[in-house]
Structure 1
Amino acid sequence: MKDLTQGSIRRHLVEMAVPIAVSMLVQTLYFMVDLYFVAKLGDAAIAGVSSAGTIMFVIMGLTQMLGVGTVALIAHAVGRKDQPDANLIFNQSLVLSAICAALTLAAGYGLAGAYMRSVGADAATTQAGITYLYWYTPGLALQFALVAMGSALRGTGIVAPTMVVQLITVVLNIVLAPILIAGWGTGRPLGVAGAGLASSVSIAVGVIVLSLYFVRLEKYVGFHADLWRPRLETWRRMLAIGLPAGGEFALMFVFMAVTYAVISTFGAAAQAGFGIGSRVMQAVFLPAMAVAFAVPAVAGQNVGARHPERVRETFRTALLFGTVVMLFPMLLCQWKPAWLISLFSDEAAVIEVGAGFLAVISWNFILSGIVFTSSGMFQALGNTVPGLIATGTRLVTYAVPAIWLSKQPGFQLHHLWYVSVATVCLQTLLILWLVRREMDRKLGALAPVA
């Protein structure tokens, strides 16, 4: 356990954000590696895997539901110096992760076909997406165990072990991807099925390695079978924080699904270009997201320790860091968007769509960093409903105009990207007002312990 209630806030944020950024980069590389090799299979394969990959927003929503509540409550417990409660939260998160994994397997194999038929641009794209999901679903189910363990460590101020495990899994995925997708060394290429299988095997190894860390090295929280009996009151505490945060990511899935549906009339090349552009965007968001992911632990421990000024300082510092780290990727996407897309495809139509998307959407980058940091502060304060409200507002202001525009004569893809920029501006203004109100309400009543 690392005490984040003393010492430099800036140092704590940096020391946590750097390993988190590495872990998130490693996680993103799962998709980038798959995308690189799948791109060699043609536009339908790219579009299918990219469309299927939007399911990750559902899984991220569910893992957020689990992980956010775990981080916040364990951080509060650490701040109060309440180790028994931290252990209870961790072990109950393992129970919830097992339930979520079972539901993911059932939904993945039961609904993959229906989902892909609703968003696929053509039959080949739909089939590629279904095949990918069938082989990647076990990996999606195992994500919950990784999140439960990683979130518990983050709540205690420890992030390096998760980074190391993620690095191991991505190296394994990089080795397996060409073997399984392209058939290197075996002469039996599996195509998009190999992409899903490579990720699933790699995630399984990651779960095993991180479990061994808890058994052999972790001392503050650990596996305790006597704490695995379902505790509904503990679940209520976790879900009260986690459900709205998970809802934010679920709404992001709806946002992406609306986009894929709207652009489906432009064909597989357009979906492939948007898919690659979205993956690049997710990658360049990593530094700001890493800063935001450090906020719940740093601010959360100080909420538990009843240090309101340190909580406010955490938010101000994180906003500054997030703005700085998003400036460079914004300029890069303004300067060389086509080059970024060309790393994954040499199809002129795909590059044109992806580059156009990045050139416009990059104006959102700094604002998105502010939104991420604000969401992290809501988690630290133990009330994530305002973040859900801000995201829900953005979905409405985006989806309604997007669907209406798609029905108009002369509709072009860049119209959609400009709508997205406008809605993020509105979301940023709203979330800043909400986070200021929540800090005034929560921290004003947070008198230090005598």
Structure 2
Amino acid sequence: MQTSTRIDLTAGPIFKTLIRLAVPVTVSMVMFTVYLMADLYFVGRLGPDAVAALSISGNAFFIHLGFSAILGTGGMALIAQAFGRKDYDHAAMVFKQSILLALLVGIVEAGTGLMIAPTYIEYFGGSGQSLEWGIQYFQIFVISFLFMILLYTIGNCFRGMGNTKTPMIIMLQANLMNIALDPVLIFGWLGLPALGVRGAALASVISQIYALAIYGYLIFIKGAHINIKGRWRLNPGIIRQSLYIGVPSGLNHFLLAANLLISFRVISNYGTAALASIGIGFRLLQAIYIPVIAVASAMAAIVGQNFGAEKYQRITGTFARAWLIGTAFMVCCTAVCQAIPGYLIAIFSDDPAVVEFGVIYLKIFSLGFIMVGTIMVFNAVFQGLGKTYPSLIGAVVDNALFAGLVLTLPVYFSWGIQSVWWIKLTTAVIETAVIAVWLKGELQRTRLKISRSLQPAG
């Protein structure tokens, strides 16, 4: 693993650097998605109620991602910019602040989740068997939020340093462990008791503890890019900087979570099969988006370091290449989802009603893949520049419109389930336009700022 060599993203071929960083992120995310799919596959053998239980718990996961994004995005951007300036002492201070905050937030998340588990599962559609299994799964799953936020924050900090290989290796091992443990704990293999949905949650917790142990060894014993020796105490100045960058990104995730919660409330009116289909469809979308998310993640680190180094041409060059890669990939994914949506859904459920609802979801939602990819790349540029509030404003416009329309039009006009996804497609177009206009202005301001900074004094 790369643990001691500092990685400079301010020089060298842009395309090669982008791909070199993106590939490990892609592998990490593919393995995480394989784990999610395996989780869904094994739990799916227990029936639609078990799948619905996992789908409902997935909403809370997006709320968790919001807190993770607050800490991970701010830490990544500040560390990348510090590395671009060659200010490694400041990077070490940011790293320590990020870990301390992640620990505090993770404890609060886990404790809160345990207290509200029954109410949460019931409110968002759990009933009968899906309610019972949902509570069983969630009460263990929510404990993993503490470990997940630490893993996410540390991984993002490593990416800000230009190291995407180490997080890949660690998460590859952890996800393989999770996949291996799933059937053992769910079905009671090797003489162990069959834990059902609780086994899936417990497998996640065990594998995450393993990953944290590896990170702990690399950071505290072997050393990883920066010197973290010295006192670990909260630094208000760095925390404010990190939160200024991270909070808009986190709120963006909260809006997505709210969007999903509203969707689940509306979709729950169509029954358990509809809930199961959206859970399957959403996990398929997570898999489809991986390469674009990876390219965007790599681009954010490159943009951050080059912003710190005041190299504007490398910022725009990286942005252009990342957008072209993302768009080309999304065009291919759109074609696949339009051609064989039923086959994709049927991988995870043979229930005819689940497949029918899932096909509707994929055929409509896939028409917006290019816009989704574009939004991801645009947002990553803002992250690297440390200006994340424009992304938040775009998301507010999208989600406010979606909530207002989806809670009124389908009911008023008695539209079917497909209207939910057509409304979402329409609001995504509007979000893309808002962010595109703002990004153009932000890049112009960045160019002027760097030009003035590079002019000789006097």
- Give the structure-1-normalised TM-score: 0.97
Identity %: 33
Per the alignment, in what secondary structure is the counterpart of residue 54 of structure 1?
helix
User: What is the deviation of 1:107?
Assistant: 1.3
> Counterparts of 1:121 and 1:110 in 2: how far apart (Å)?
17
User: Which residue does the alignment assign to 1:206?
Assistant: 211
User: Which residue does the alignment assign to 2:264?
Assistant: 260
**1:368–1:424 contact (8 Å) kept in structure 2:** yes
Which of 341, 346, 356 does residue 342 from structure 1 map onto?
346
**1:131–1:193 contact (8 Å) kept in structure 2:** yes
User: What is the deviation of 1:122?
Assistant: 2.2
> Counterparts of 1:104 and 1:382 in 2: how far apart (Å)?
26
Matched, 1:368 2:372: yes
Which of 108, 117, 125 does residue 122 from structure 2 map onto?
117
**2:371–2:432 contact (8 Å) kept in structure 1:** yes
**1:128–1:192 contact (8 Å) kept in structure 2:** yes
Matched, 1:32 2:44: no
Per the alignment, in what secondary structure is the counterpart of residue 2 of structure 1?
coil
User: Which residue does the alignment assign to 1:83?
Assistant: 88
User: What is the deviation of 1:216?
Assistant: 4.4
Per the alignment, in what secondary structure is the counterpart of residue 142 of structure 2?
helix
**1:20–1:290 contact (8 Å) kept in structure 2:** yes
Deviation string 1:156-175 (CA, Å, 9 cap, x unpaired) is 11110100111101110111
Which of 126, 132, 140 does residue 127 from structure 1 map onto?
132
Matched, 1:305 2:309: yes
User: What is the deviation of 1:411?
Assistant: 2.4
Residue 442 to residue 356, structure 1, CA distance change in 2 (3 Å): same
> Counterparts of 2:173 and 2:252 in 1: how far apart (Å)?
29
Which of 391, 397, 404 does residue 400 from structure 1 map onto?
404
Please give the root-mean-square deviation of Cα atoms over the aligned residues, in Å.
1.3
> Counterparts of 1:224 and 1:250 in 2: how far apart (Å)?
35
> Counterparts of 1:102 and 1:441 in 2: how far apart (Å)?
40
- Where do residues 33-52 of structure 1 align in structure 2 (5 Å cutoff)? 33-52=38-57
User: Which residue does the alignment assign to 2:21?
Assistant: 16
**2:126–2:134 contact (8 Å) kept in structure 1:** no
> Counterparts of 1:344 and 1:182 in 2: how far apart (Å)?
18
- Where do residues 214-229 of structure 1 align in structure 2 (5 Å cutoff)? 214-226=219-231, 228-229=232-233
Q: Which amino acid aligns with 1:31?
A: L
User: Which residue does the alignment assign to 1:333?
Assistant: 337
User: What is the deviation of 1:177?
Assistant: 0.2
> Counterparts of 1:16 and 1:373 in 2: how far apart (Å)?
15
Matched, 1:294 2:267: no
User: What is the deviation of 1:253?
Assistant: 0.2
> Counterparts of 1:417 and 1:269 in 2: how far apart (Å)?
17
User: What is the deviation of 1:29?
Assistant: 2.5
User: What is the deviation of 1:281?
Assistant: 0.7
User: What is the deviation of 1:121?
Assistant: 4.7
**1:262–1:406 contact (8 Å) kept in structure 2:** no
Q: Which amino acid aligns with 2:396?
A: G
- Give the structure-2-normalised TM-score: 0.95
Which of 240, 243, 250 does residue 247 from structure 2 map onto?
243
Deviation string 1:307-364 (CA, Å, 9 cap, x unpaired) is 1111111111111111112222211111111111111111000011111101110011
Q: Which amino acid aligns with 1:156?
A: M
> Counterparts of 1:411 and 1:301 in 2: how far apart (Å)?
49
> Counterparts of 2:433 and 2:223 in 1: how far apart (Å)?
41
> Counterparts of 1:387 and 1:252 in 2: how far apart (Å)?
12
**1:214–1:222 contact (8 Å) kept in structure 2:** no
Q: Which runs of 5+ in 2 are unaligned?
A: 1-5
> Counterparts of 2:375 and 2:413 in 1: how far apart (Å)?
34
- Where do residues 273-288 of structure 1 align in structure 2 (5 Å cutoff)? 273-288=277-292
Residue 405 to residue 122, structure 1, CA distance change in 2 (3 Å): farther
> Counterparts of 1:52 and 1:218 in 2: how far apart (Å)?
36
Q: 62-71 or 186-195: which moved more?
A: 186-195
Q: Which runs of 5+ in 1 are unaligned?
A: none
User: Which residue does the alignment assign to 1:388?
Assistant: 392
User: What is the deviation of 1:297?
Assistant: 0.6
**2:76–2:159 contact (8 Å) kept in structure 1:** yes
Deviation string 1:27-59 (CA, Å, 9 cap, x unpaired) is 223321111111111111111111111111111
Per the alignment, in what secondary structure is the counterpart of residue 383 of structure 1?
coil
**2:306–2:315 contact (8 Å) kept in structure 1:** yes
**2:53–2:133 contact (8 Å) kept in structure 1:** yes
Per the alignment, in what secondary structure is the counterpart of residue 412 of structure 2?
coil
- Where do residues 343-358 of structure 1 align in structure 2 (5 Å cutoff)? 343-358=347-362
Which of 136, 144, 153 does residue 148 from structure 1 map onto?
153
Q: Which amino acid aligns with 1:310?
A: R
Residue 145 to residue 339, structure 1, CA distance change in 2 (3 Å): same
User: What is the deviation of 1:395?
Assistant: 0.3
User: What is the deviation of 1:420?
Assistant: 1.1
User: What is the deviation of 1:2?
Assistant: 0.9
**1:122–1:268 contact (8 Å) kept in structure 2:** no
